[in-house]
Chains A and B, each alone.
Chain A
Amino acid sequence: MTQVKEKKKTLLKVTGLKKHFPVTKGFIKKETIPLKAVDGIDLEIFEGETLGIVGESGCGKSTTGQMMLGLLPPTEGTVTFEGKDLTSLSKEELRRLRKDLQVIFQDPFSSLNPRMTIEQLIGEPLKIHGVMQGKQLRNEVIRLLKTVGLGEHHLKRHPHEFSGGQRQRIGIARALALKPKIIICDEPVSALDVSIQAQILNLLRKLQKEFKLTYVFIAHGLPAVRHISDRVAVMYLGKVVEVADRDSLFEKPIHPYTEALLSAIPIPDPTKRKEHKLLEGDLPNPSNPPSGCRFHTRCPYAQEVCKMKDPELTEYHEGHKAACHFPLQQ
């Protein structure tokens, strides 16, 4: 890339985003300490890029995705899409904005209404927004099917007649129908076979080029994220611990948690031995996160200060931010 500084346009911006789920206990439903699924996140997504979000199960990455879509109201913070704050929009305004914000779900077996035909499923978004109807609608559905690698003869079938990979293609076609600007892919390949994963990832890349899409790619599999993302954000227990562009994150991780995640990727070469820095213990309870740095209970480099003070997300290189008192590679 040339050194000419291009001003990248921010498409979606998330500031101070929090989501606390109330936890009720007992007969009188007394509210106890809330479950802090997402606890203060700042992220920026630039037009045309793919931002990968990775983290363990339960770290709040899917909740973040739901809030970015405006499907889940945040407890605190804002989601700004093209200058509009999603949290301040009315239900109807939000509904109209759906054209620009779409989602691909994780489980292709539960994300398609089993009672609808493929034609209905893919035509549904266009019908809802009154974009087209009748013969025109059918032709558009056929065109969409072809873009995702399916054909006209699939129109009248129901989801149960398809394999997981095919269903995910249908889900993608449905998301594409309204020509969105941004698609949140919520673990779109986690439920698929490895051979199919590559197909779907390549399809997503092809579509991105073709339609100039912006992706937020949520996943827990690092290889998939590396394959598709331009930048990657690592989440731990409801917080972003590191954001960087793909190569610097995978080559030179700053946060110990990222390092541990990377070292957990198996190398497909039996002659090479790798020193695994496996994490011990489980993810702490998100309704009662550890004091100071949330990672200190499992961090191999943790010291006294980590228990006391929560580290800020600081920029170490151009676009490479991490939240750690004792950053690696320094």
Chain B
Amino acid sequence: MRMFSRIEVKKELTLEETKTDKKAYSLKWLKVLLNSKTGTLGLIIVVFMVLMAILANVIAPHDPAQTDVVNRLVPPVWAEGGNPDYILGTDNLGRDILSRIIVGSRVSLLVGISAVFLAGAIGLVLGLISGYYGGFFDRVIMRTVDAFLAIPNILFMLIVLAVIGPSLMTLIFVLGATTWVMYARMVRGETLSIKERDYVRSARAVGAKDIRIISRYILPNIISSFIVIATLNVATTIILESSLSFLGLGIQPPDVSWGLMLSDGREYLATSWWVATFPGVAITITVLGIIFLGDWLRDVLDPKTKTN
């Protein structure tokens, strides 16, 4: 017993030394980031991709839309028959794959991230309302979710795109409007479980209003799972955009996106693997970077994460 109390005292002292005042707390995110190797890697990847998207026109070695009929389906530079002009080779129309990846990052990142933001925001708000208030709101929202789940996503998107007409904005809107349901379901479920916890009861017992309970007691406790789901969904959304582009209702040439390139390369997969592989690799790396960054964000928001 005595031994325990001594340890307790010692711990108390060291904790007192590391005074966690406001400044130290605001530095927490950086410390956590530098502590985690994956987090740092994620940040590097995402920053790299974003810079690439911003500076696309400056760094792209070729015009992404310019065809070169003589140099069609040139393999990457290290393979047999490679051309140093086209580092990652060319596609079936002789367009430079590297340039297309660089320029295509704009649309892919923009669509992937904004659609997830849109869907996440809708799903979060509706899920919170549905789970917290229950009753009529819950029934209306959940039946809507069921309806959305019952209609094939692609079909719904095709109809909307065919009516409104494809453009970048409509694409983001349509992707957001169809994928919010899964966030809504997840947020509702989490809210239902958290609103029965004692700390939410205690918030009510001290007289907190609903809006405060939702924003200070429920939201912070579901945000971790939400971030994980959202970051994983960036990948799905980029792929979904490619399916739409493949069906001709997504990105319209001469614009280019990774998804479009992926579907273009599908036909040549057996003979010219590089056409589809490189945009695929770009998607994979970006998504990994975002997931790593999401894990880091989740750790920052969790008070249990140690900073030292």
Contacts and interface: CB of A to CB of B under 8 A. Distances in A.
B21 interface: yes
B205 A113 contact: no
Interface in B234-252: none
A66 to B, nearest CB: 8
A125 to B, nearest CB: 4
B217 A128 contact: no
B208 A174 contact: no
A111 interface: yes
A76 interface: no
Contact of B207 (A115, A116, A117, A128): A128
Interface stretch (A45-53, A100-108, A260-268, A283-291): A100-108
B199 interface: yes
A103 B303 contact: no
B80 interface: no
Contacts of B20: 156-157
The dominant DSSP class at the B interface is helix
B201 interface: yes
B221 A115 contact: yes
A198 interface: no
A124 B206 contact: yes
B206 A113 contact: no
A161 B21 CA distance: 16
Interface residues of A, number: 34
Given A96-B207, A156-B25, A113 B303 contact: no
A99 interface: yes
Interface residues of B, number: 27
A98 interface: yes
Contacts of A161: 15
Contacts of A128: 206-209, 212
Most buried by B among A115, A129, A158, A177: A115
Contacts, number: 78
A111 B204 CA distance: 12
Interface in B1-46: 12, 15-16, 19-21, 25
B74 to A, nearest CB: 55
Contacts of B209: 95, 128
B198 A105 contact: yes
B209 to A, nearest CB: 7
Interface in B273-308: 301, 303-304
Contacts of A71: 201, 204-205
Given A125-B207, A128-B207, A153-B15, A113 B199 contact: yes
Interface of A: 69, 71, 95-96, 98-99, 101-103, 105-107, 110-117, 124-125, 128-129, 153, 156-158, 160-161, 171, 174, 177-178
9 contacts: A69-B205, A71-B204, A98-B205, A111-B198, A113-B199, A114-B199, A114-B221, A124-B216, A156-B25
5 nearest CB pairs, A to B: A98-B207, A111-B198, A125-B206, A158-B303, A115-B220
Given A113-B216, A115-B303, A128-B206, 4 more contacts: A105-B198, A128-B212, A129-B207, A160-B304
